[in-house]
Amino acid sequence: MKLLLDSTRCHGYGLCQEPAPELIELDEWGYAQLRRSDVPDGDEDSAEAAVAACPNSALRLVK
């Protein structure tokens, strides 16, 4: 499973980082950056929660 970020859709709310800090970090302005795009086994739920938390659909999961 891969986590993808469309940075043009990110508005810097930072809501995605809370459920998945192992996958997503925030830059100095609060915009999301992926720590890694490959979602390790056991982190699928947090990746799905991060995708759901984004109000601008900047994140998506690909299987």
Q: Sketch the domain layout of the chain as residue ranges.
A: 2-62
Question: 18-42 burial string, b = 16+ CB within 10 Å, else e?
Answer: ebbeebbebeeeebbebeeeebeee
Q: Give the separation between CA 46 and CA 9, rounded to whole angstroms.
A: 20
Residues of the chain with pLDDT > 70, as a percent, come to: 100
Query: pTM for this one?
Result: 0.93
Both tokens assigned to 11 = 């508005």
Q: Give the separation between CA 24 and CA 60, rounded to whole angstroms.
A: 13
The mean per-residue pLDDT over the stretch 12-37 comes to 96
State how far Cα 16 lies from the chain centre: 5
Q: According to the model, what pLDDT value does residue 33 have?
A: 97
The mean per-residue pLDDT over the stretch 7-34 comes to 97
Q: According to the model, what pLDDT value does residue 34 have?
A: 98
| Architecture label for domain 2-62 | 2-Layer Sandwich (3.30)
Q: According to the model, what pLDDT value does residue 17 have?
A: 97
